[in-house]
Amino acid sequence: MAGMKDIRVEKVVVNIGMGKAGEPLENATAFLSQLTGRKAVQTKSKTRSPTWNLRKGLPIGTKVTLRGESALAFLKKAFEAVGGKLYKQSFDTRGNFAFGVKEYIDFPGVKYDPKIGMLGFDVCVSLVRPGYRVASRKIATSKIGKSHVIKPEEAHKFVEGSFGVKVLDRFESE
């Protein structure tokens, strides 16, 4: 029986930031769709930056959001790609975490494609407990109690127990 203090994965967001539109972004979008089995959407620039040749609304990246069983299956493979290690600095104050896969060929079962070239991607994971919906619902919105918020240490234990991943300090090697 699941209790109110049980932690679960709400969603996994996989994204690739290209910084510019064009064929490389189209290739990245196609690759992300192929990797996850879901339709990838392009992300657009929110601000203008002449230094980086960006204008507001210009497509600069691509992302896919995974939930449920597909999110857990993808996460297990992504942990294999990073060697089953995460750093404590990857976790935020509410237990969510993110990490990067440097090259997509590190991901299990993926072969090099010369059309795509070499690119990496980021994996962002949101953790929740039952009852978190009260903060985002439309009617009678309420705050999540202090004792119910996921602390980084609880998230470390969840990741280590559920996925067998080691959570290391920055300067630890193993």
Beta carbons of 161 and 14 less than 8 angstroms apart: no
- Report the pLDDT value the prediction gives residue 1, as an integer from 0 to 100: 41
- The CATH number corresponding to 8-166 among 3.30.1440.10, 3.50.50.60, 3.90.180.10, 1.10.260.40 equals 3.30.1440.10
| Other residues' Cβ atoms within 10 Å of the Cβ of residue 25 | 20
Query: Is the pTM higher than 0.95?
Result: no
**Per-residue pLDDT reduced to its tens digit, 95-139:** 899 998 888 877 877 777 777 778 888 999 999 999 888 888 999
According to the model, what pLDDT value does residue 2 have?
A: 64
72 pLDDT higher than 90: yes
* 32-56 b/e (C-beta count within 10 Å ≥ 16 → b): beebbeeebbbbebeeeeeeeebee
On the question of pLDDT at 88 being above 70, the answer is: yes
165: exposed, middle or buried (C-beta count within 10 Å: 0-12, 13-18, 19+)?
A: buried
